[in-house]
Structure 1
Amino acid sequence: MKPLLITDCDEVLLHMVRHFGSWLDEAHDIEFGLSHHDWSRAMRPRDGSTLTADAMWGYLDGFFPAQMGRQTLVPHAREALAALADVADIVVLTNLQDHCQQHRVAQLAEHGIVHRVECNQGGKGRPVARLAEEFGASVVVFVDDLPQHHESVARAAPHVFRLHMVAEPAMAASVPPAPHAHVRIDDWREARRWIAARFAAGEPAPLVEALGEN
C-alpha cells in the first residue's frame, strides 16, 4: 500500500490568522495579536470590552466560509504536496464545520491543491486512526500546527509520524514545539524532505510514549 499524508490546512497549507486579524480590524474594530497562540489573549476589542468564548467562536464562524477568499498559500506547500503525491495518498483534515467542506475543496483547488478534504470538529486522533485504517497505508505522516492534535494522534494512532508546523512566521517564534510531535519543521521544503524520508524507510513511527486513547 502507498504511504499516507494527513495534513491540516490553516497555518499549514494556507495562511489564516493574518487574514483573520485584518478582517477583525476592518469589520469589527478588534485587534488580533499574532504573537499569541491563545486567542483569548490575542483578540482585544478596541473599546476595552472583554470577549466571551462564544463571541470569539462567533467571529471565527463569521470568517468561515464568507472570508475564506482572503487566505493565501503558504510558500512551497503546493510544490511539496505535488511531489509527495507521486508516491503517497494525501488527505486534508481540517477543523471546520461540515458545511464548509465544499468551500474548502474549492478554495484549495484555486491554489492548485486537489486532494480529498475531511472536515472535523474536536481532536484529530480518532479521524487520523480511521483514515490510516481505511487506506491501509504502510507509513502515515500527520502534519498540524496545534499541539493538542499531536497529543490526540499520539494517543489514538501512535504508529503515525507527527510533524508540528506553524507556517505563520509572526506566530511561529512564540509557539514552542509540540511535546507529542516527532519533529517541528515550519518550512515545507524541509518538511517535504523529512516526510519523503519517512515514506522511503517504510517503517511506522516508533512508540515513544504510552498514552491512553483520546
Structure 2
Amino acid sequence: MVTDLLDIDHVRLRDRPLVVCDIDEVVLEFISPFTTFLRANNYDLLPRSFRLHGNIVSLLDGTEPDDTVISDFQESFFTTQDQWQIPASGAVETLAALSDDVDIVFLTAMPPRHQPVRRALLDRFELGFPMIATVQPKGPVVAQLHGARALPVIFIDDIARNLHSVREYVPECLLITMMANADFRAFAPAPSEGVLSAASWNEAAELIRAHVRR
C-alpha cells in the first residue's frame, strides 16, 4: 500500500512507457564535482569503498570529519550545485532521443528545499523533464506515478536500496543500476537478482528499448 502521497500534479504522463530516473551519478555527475568541492574546502574524497562516510579526509592532517561535518558539506554542495555539477556522459542526448517514445520523470533523493536550484541547473542543460525531489523511499513514489497503468515502466538508480524499494512496490518494473563515476562504481555491490547493470547511457538505452518493444 502506498502511503504519504506526494504532490505530483505537475507530472503529466501520456499513454506511453515511463522511465523514472535518479539524478546524482546517473543524469548529473556527483562524485567528481563533489570531490572538487571538497578539495576547495581542504578535504578530499578517496575511492576506498562505496560510501562517503569514511572516505572523506582532511588535506591538512589526514583526519576524517564526523558525520555532522559531512552533512554540512552535502548541504552546502546542494545549495551551490549549479556551480559544480554537469551532465553525465551521454545523458543529455540519450534522454532526448528516448523522449520520442517514452515519458521521463526525474526522481532525486534530495531535500525539496534544493529543488529550485536543481530545476534551474537541469533546464540550463536542456534536461527539462519533470522532477520530484524527496527524501522518502523511492518505491512508493514510483508506484504513485505509475499507478495501475498497463504500460512498461523502467527505473534507473545507482543505489541498491532505491532499486530494492521500487522492486517491492512496483514488481513489474525494469530495474537498471548505473553510476557515472568509474572509480566508485568498482566498489559497488553486485546487482541483486532482477536488477540489470548498465555501464553507460548507450547500454541503458538499449535495455530500455528492448523492454519497451516486448
Residue of structure 2 in register with 1:15 after alignment: 29
1:48 Cα deviation from its structure 2 partner: 4.2
Query: Is residue 143 of structure 2 the alignment partner of residue 129 of structure 1?
Result: yes
Q: TM-score, normalised by structure 1?
A: 0.87
Q: Aligned partners of 1:164 and 1:108: how far apart in 2? A: 21
- In structure 2, the CA distance between the partners of 1:156 and 1:19, relative to structure 1 (3 Å rule), is same
Q: Check whether the contact 1:78–1:113 (CA below 8 A) recurs between aligned residues.
A: yes
Query: Is residue 154 of structure 2 the alignment partner of residue 141 of structure 1?
Result: yes
Matched residues, number = 199
Residue of structure 1 in register with 2:167 after alignment: 154
Q: Check whether the contact 2:54–2:64 (CA below 8 A) recurs between aligned residues.
A: no
Equivalent positions of 1:3-82 (< 5 A) are 3-27=17-41, 29-46=42-59, 47-82=61-96
1:132 Cα deviation from its structure 2 partner: 1.0
Q: Aligned partners of 1:130 and 1:23: how far apart in 2? A: 35
1:181 Cα deviation from its structure 2 partner: 4.8
Q: Check whether the contact 2:35–2:45 (CA below 8 A) recurs between aligned residues.
A: yes
Q: Check whether the contact 1:150–1:180 (CA below 8 A) recurs between aligned residues.
A: no
1:93-134 CA-to-partner distances (Å, cap 9, x unmatched) read: 001111111211111111121100000104211111111118
Range with greater deviation from structure 2 (161-170 or 178-187): 178-187
Equivalent positions of 1:93-132 (< 5 A) are 93-132=107-146
Between the aligned residues of both structures, percent identity stands at: 27
1:154 Cα deviation from its structure 2 partner: 1.2
Residue of structure 1 in register with 2:7 after alignment: none
Q: Aligned partners of 1:39 and 1:18: how far apart in 2? A: 12
1:11-53 CA-to-partner distances (Å, cap 9, x unmatched) read: 10111111111111112x1121134322112111243444222
Q: Aligned partners of 1:181 and 1:33: how far apart in 2? A: 30
Q: Aligned partners of 1:137 and 1:79: how far apart in 2? A: 28
Paired amino acid for 1:126: P
Range with greater deviation from structure 2 (41-50 or 61-70): 41-50
Q: TM-score, normalised by structure 2?
A: 0.87
Q: Aligned partners of 2:170 and 2:180: how far apart in 1? A: 24
Counterpart secondary structure, 1:51: coil
Range with greater deviation from structure 2 (61-70 or 6-15): 61-70
Q: Aligned partners of 2:150 and 2:125: how far apart in 1? A: 27
1:69 Cα deviation from its structure 2 partner: 2.2
Counterpart secondary structure, 2:154: strand
User: Gapped runs of 5+ residues in structure 2?
Assistant: 1-14
Q: Aligned partners of 2:184 and 2:208: how far apart in 1? A: 23
Q: Aligned partners of 2:193 and 2:114: how far apart in 1? A: 29
Paired amino acid for 2:181: E
User: Gapped runs of 5+ residues in structure 1?
Assistant: 202-214
Q: Check whether the contact 2:20–2:155 (CA below 8 A) recurs between aligned residues.
A: yes
Residue of structure 2 in register with 1:170 after alignment: 183
